[in-house]
Amino acid sequence: MPTVYDVARLAGVSTATVSRVMRGSDLVRPDTRARVLAVIDEVGFVPDASAQGLSRRRKDIIGLVALERGVDETDIERDGLLFVDQLVHAVEAVLRGTGCSLLLSFGRNGEPFQGRIRALSGKVDGLLVVEDAMPAAQLRALSRRLPVVAIAASPGEGGLDAVRVDNAGGMQALAAHLATGHGYRRLGFAGGPPDAPDAVERLAAFAAAARARPGCTVDVVPGGDFSEASGRTAARVLLSREAVPEAVACANDQMAIGVIRELQRSGIRVPADVAVTGFDNIFPGRVVDPPLTTVGQPFRELGARATTRLLERIAGSEAQPRADVLPTELVIRRSCGCPVTPSPAT
Amino acid sequence: MPTVYDVARLAGVSTATVSRVMRGSDLVRPDTRARVLAVIDEVGFVPDASAQGLSRRRKDIIGLVALERGVDETDIERDGLLFVDQLVHAVEAVLRGTGCSLLLSFGRNGEPFQGRIRALSGKVDGLLVVEDAMPAAQLRALSRRLPVVAIAASPGEGGLDAVRVDNAGGMQALAAHLATGHGYRRLGFAGGPPDAPDAVERLAAFAAAARARPGCTVDVVPGGDFSEASGRTAARVLLSREAVPEAVACANDQMAIGVIRELQRSGIRVPADVAVTGFDNIFPGRVVDPPLTTVGQPFRELGARATTRLLERIAGSEAQPRADVLPTELVIRRSCGCPVTPSPAT
DNA sequence: TACGACTTTGTAAGCGGTTACATTCAGCTG
DNA sequence: CAGCTGAATGTAACCGCTTACAAAGTCGTA
């Protein structure tokens, strides 16, 4: 593994010059530069990022820590991941332009995740924390040591950069559509993990919006985990009730898909007998039958905004911490009872 | 940002002792250890990974480079990613136990991906390369500088650790099922990217296996990109033929889903009029109507095996490079024309 | 009490880059 | 041609941690 010293010796220059050539130039005579570049190319020199990081006090790596949801221990149900996967791609896309790389770390709640985050924090220039992947206190402590941007975290956290989506707005629009648009009165809700801020907000907003309408009731089934399986479970609970709801909203799309499939397995028609809706707008929701009415969230923008902000902080921005809320959008398809949409490729 | 020196001073010991305490002990007297730990905790010391990496010649980071497939420029079609996403989670799960972290880098082909990989190679101890994310020559060069394990790469590459799945076996089983099991004779195939080794193998194996059977023909539509949209396109091509195939196999599940939906849009029943099959066995395939018959590949094992091998190499293993082939498995659901399977939650 | 034989701790030299500062060099000017 | 100036290059300290080796304790024994 060649080092700057090797290159310097071979090119007959000092390490300073090699370094200057590497970092896009400074003042190096063209022929010197050419000579150095030739040697670099010949010996296949690649600077050691550790040494660079140490010397420049900057690692050009940011970390993303997230909870791995809806993946069960046996690894069979691999369907809960779409949200974080989308995010990862969005973040990576932004980083692509910069020299920065993305370090990933997933945890399942209950695990001793904290130690890993600690260690990880030594490897990065800044951290993206998804949901409440760590206790608020620790998050604050962390954010004193390095730039941190929270994604989809609990709104409570002040004094911290954060980006989230408008869960409440989306759910209100959805509740209006179901109650006012379709006239459903007996509503149900398949709730997500109590430790997922998004899930909590969605549940609260939907229930509040629905109950605010005269005659509307909401039968809440809490305790899902964002997975399809937990949607099925919720459906079974709802089916066991005296009065099965006319429409069931869900904490996310996977759960909605689980609800749909479980209902169908029991011979119930969706949406004719029971309407079902999700949240997220991920690919499988377009594919399921009936296509899922849902609230779309701007994954791309969510990841991009958070990443951009983090990079600014790393670059030294001292601006006031901001908590951005990105708009969500009601995506009407058929599972809510709306007629076929004639869109070309939905 | 406290350093070992700060901790040492505060605890009244030398940096060597601090270091010894950090790295799980050596021979440090219990009370000394306690004192040091107290200081570490108090000042919130986290060792700088760059300095550690430099000193220990080991960064405890491995990289994963992959092509981002089936994502179109406008970011609207976000459905081509499931394969690599699965892989990422599988790899991360293995790393979880170790102190190693995962650095991610995606490229789209055509992009100047090579430079980024070069830079990235300075940040990691080893690299996982998915598909032919880089030219064979460069891959060889890379593998001389650091441990590299290829995932789902072209079989050609000798002398390199590689893990792939048995595309051919899976496709042969599928062809047998369609031709012998169902008696289909006019077959179609929606091909994937010509630069995707998996896609090439699947196409070749399916065509060969099918054509080996008396009376069987295969109408190949090449040039897909693994996305649902490209499946739709393939379906349109197939529909324009004089004789529409009785069964269409596809390079992956997303394309199969695209084919199904496009056929349905044209009023063709699946599988009654045309059977359709995929490859991968990802979540959306379970959800689409009809549920997708496909060839399952062991994502988890694929990622795990590659990661384990890479870690061994990093640890210094000098074993002969191996090219493992993991078994695939025919997953019969309904899109091939088989009757409803009574499985509990498929 | 003195002497080994361990155990515990400290000293200081790297690890491979970057960069402030010093030095050299070439080209002008007076 | 000495002296000056700015460009090009070299020197060496430093980034923060690890670790070989040296030094200092500690203890039991002769």
A268 and A292 share one domain: yes
How large a percentage of chain B has pLDDT more than 70? 94
Query: pLDDT at position A345, please?
Result: 46
Strand order in the sheet with A247-250: A217-221, A186-190, A247-250, A275-277
pLDDT higher than threshold 60 for residue A43: yes
Query: pLDDT at position A341, please?
Result: 62
In 3D space, the residue among A301, A306, A288 whose CA is nearest the CA of residue A329 turns out to be A301
What's the mean pLDDT in A19-29?
Answer: 86
Query: pLDDT at position B80, please?
Result: 55
Count of beta carbons in the 10 Å neighbourhood of residue A185: 16
- CATH number of the domain at B283, please: 3.40.50.2300
In 3D space, the residue among A134, A122, A125, A165 whose CA is nearest the CA of residue A65 turns out to be A134
Whether A245 is in a domain gets the answer yes
What's the mean pLDDT in A246-261?
Answer: 97
Structure-token match 């996982």, residue found: B128
Whether B132 is in a domain gets the answer yes
A111 and A31 share one domain: no
Distances (CA, A) of B343 to A83, A237, B332: 28, 21, 11
Determine the Cα angle at B345 with ends B343 and B346, to 5°.
75
B236 and B270 share one domain: yes
**Which stretch of A230-244, B65-79, B98-112 has the lowest confidence by average pLDDT?**
B65-79
B172 and B143 share one domain: no
A254 and A282 share one domain: yes
Count of beta carbons in the 10 Å neighbourhood of residue B54: 19
| Token couple for B44 | 């919130």
Cβ contact, residue pair A284, B287, below 8 Å? yes
Domain extent for B27 = 4-47
Q: Which amino acid is at B135?
A: P
Cα distance between residue B59 and residue A49, in whole Å: 9
Our CA dihedral for B273, B278, B281, B284, rounded to 10 degrees, sits at: -60
B13-24: pLDDT as tens digits = 999 999 999 988
Print burial letters for A34-71: b (CB count within 10 Å at least 16), e (below 16): ebbbebbeeeebbbbbbbbbbeeeebbbbbbbbbbbbb
| Token couple for B31 | 């009370």
Count of beta carbons in the 10 Å neighbourhood of residue B223: 14
Whether B341 is in a domain gets the answer no
Cα distance between residue A89 and residue A307, in whole Å: 11
Cβ contact, residue pair B145, A48, below 8 Å? no
Whether B31 is in a domain gets the answer yes
Cβ contact, residue pair A88, B104, below 8 Å? yes
Looking at every residue in chain A, the average pLDDT score rounds to: 92
Q: SS3 of B328, please?
A: coil
Whether A341 is in a domain gets the answer no
Q: Shortest Cα distance from A331 to chain B (angstroms)?
A: 14
Query: pLDDT at position A80, please?
Result: 55
Query: pLDDT at position B71, please?
Result: 64
A147: preceding bond cis by omega (within 30 degrees):
no
Cα distance between residue A327 and residue A302, in whole Å: 10
In 3D space, the residue among A213, A206, A175, A173 whose CA is nearest the CA of residue A191 turns out to be A206
Total residues found in chain A within this entry: 346
Cα distance between residue A267 and residue A91, in whole Å: 42
Query: pLDDT at position B345, please?
Result: 46
A279 and A176 share one domain: yes
Looking at the structure of chain A, the number of domains it has is: 3
Q: Which pLDDT band holds residue A247 (cuts at 50, 70, 90)?
A: very high
Cα distance between residue A250 and residue A218, in whole Å: 12
Query: pLDDT at position B76, please?
Result: 44
Residue ranges in chain B assigned as alpha helix (H) = 4-11, 15-22, 30-43, 49-56, 82-97, 113-121, 136-145, 167-176, 197-211, 228-239, 253-265, 283-287, 299-314
CB nearest A50 (choices: B1, B59, B63): B59
Q: Determine the residue among B253, B283, B294, B297 to mutate to test chain A binding: the one whose Cβ has the most chain A Cβ atoms within 10 Å.
A: B283
Cα distance between residue B250 and residue B67, in whole Å: 20
Cβ contact, residue pair A104, B101, below 8 Å? yes
A78 and A122 share one domain: yes
Structure-token match 């997500």, residue found: A192
In 3D space, the residue among B239, B240, B236, B249 whose CA is nearest the CA of residue B210 turns out to be B249
Whether A251 is in a domain gets the answer yes
A133 and A197 share one domain: no
Whether A340 is in a domain gets the answer no
DSSP annotation of B23: T
Backbone region of residue A75 per phi and psi (left: phi > 0; alpha: psi in -120 to 50; beta: other values) = left
What Å value separates CA A28 and C1' C21? 17
B233-276: pLDDT as tens digits = 999 999 999 999 999 999 999 999 999 999 999 999 999 999 99
| Token couple for B18 | 């601090």
B76 and B43 share one domain: no
Cα distance between residue B191 and residue B225, in whole Å: 8
Phi and psi of A90, rounded to 5°? -65, -45
Q: Quick one: which residue's CA is nearest to C12's C1'?
A: B16
B12 and B116 share one domain: no
Domain limit, last residue, from B259, B281, B297:
B297
Cα distance between residue A267 and residue A33, in whole Å: 75
Whether B332 is in a domain gets the answer no
How large a percentage of chain B has pLDDT more than 90? 85
Cα distance between residue B93 and residue B22, in whole Å: 25
Structure-token match 């100047």, residue found: B112
B184-211: pLDDT as tens digits = 999 999 999 999 999 999 999 999 999 9
- How many cross-chain Cβ pairs, A to B, lie less than 8 Å apart? 145
Q: Which residues of A touch B287 (CB under 8 A)?
A: 257, 261, 284, 287-288
Cβ contact, residue pair A51, B49, below 8 Å? no
Strand C: list positions under 7 Å from protein Cβ: 7-12, 14-20
CB nearest B44 (choices: A145, A282, A345): A145
A184 and A83 share one domain: no
Is residue B317 within 8 Å of residue B126, measured between CB atoms?
no
- CATH number of the domain at B17, please: 1.10.260.40
Q: Which pLDDT band holds residue A300 (cuts at 50, 70, 90)?
A: very high
A242 and A292 share one domain: yes
Q: Determine the residue among B104, B117, B145 to mutate to test chain A binding: the one whose Cβ has the most chain A Cβ atoms within 10 Å.
A: B104
Query: pLDDT at position B157, please?
Result: 66
Q: SS3 of B167, please?
A: helix
In 3D space, the residue among A329, A341, A234 whose CA is nearest the CA of residue A281 turns out to be A329
